[in-house]
A and B are shown apart, each in its own frame.
Chain A
């Protein structure tokens, strides 16, 4: 079946503008995660949603970052007043849940803040 999809694949924005990144998880997956990966670096956890529970926002680096998940499916990561240090690849992943831990990653959105 279809995997995790993300859009856009690339986004170039000017410093100070807001951006929205979208993630479509695998159908039926109950958990959804956002990570940030700077060039040549590891995977930095940002936020995760599990079913109808309150999201774990412990990884969000500042209050300029927020995310929502509508209807238990699609998620949007919003970055307000973008800064150059926000430039990175933003990866989304989803998990079936119910004791299944494997995370399936999307292709990522490469964000460049100029």
Chain B
């Protein structure tokens, strides 16, 4: 079955700098890759997603890139702000199934 690895497990950056979180997946047939943000004590919420027919997607300060050949995808946050501090989860959806396999999460801390 699908397996998703996420790195790093913790990341600390200065406010205003960029943050990058990387994930790899094992099932080459996976076709949907979302990123969820979970603030402390809150539920996970989708922040951006990408499908396998697209290489990059941007939404304001957030971007996701996908390399299907290498089976990895990354989340990029630019001009980080204190409210970006949270746990971020990547996920992959195996082809033919609507379930998501999540990475272990990255705790991002933005230092003022």
Contacts and interface: CB of A to CB of B under 8 A. Distances in A.
Contacts, number: 47
Interface string A29-43: 001010100000111
A83 interface: no
Interface in A79-114: 91, 95, 97, 101-103, 105-108
Contact of A103 (B1, B46, B97, B105): B46
A91 B43 contact: yes
A50 interface: yes
A17 B102 CA distance: 30
A90 to B, nearest CB: 12
Contact of B43 (A50, A56, A108): A108
B18 interface: no
Nearest to A30: B98
Nearest to A58: B1
Contacts of A50: 98
Interface in A6-57: 31, 33, 35, 41-43, 45, 48, 50, 56
Given A42-B89, A42-B104, A95-B98, 10 more contacts: A41-B104, A43-B44, A56-B99, A91-B43, A97-B98, A101-B32, A101-B100, A106-B43, A107-B43, A108-B43
Interface of A: 31, 33, 35, 41-43, 45, 48, 50, 56, 58, 91, 95, 97, 101-103, 105-108
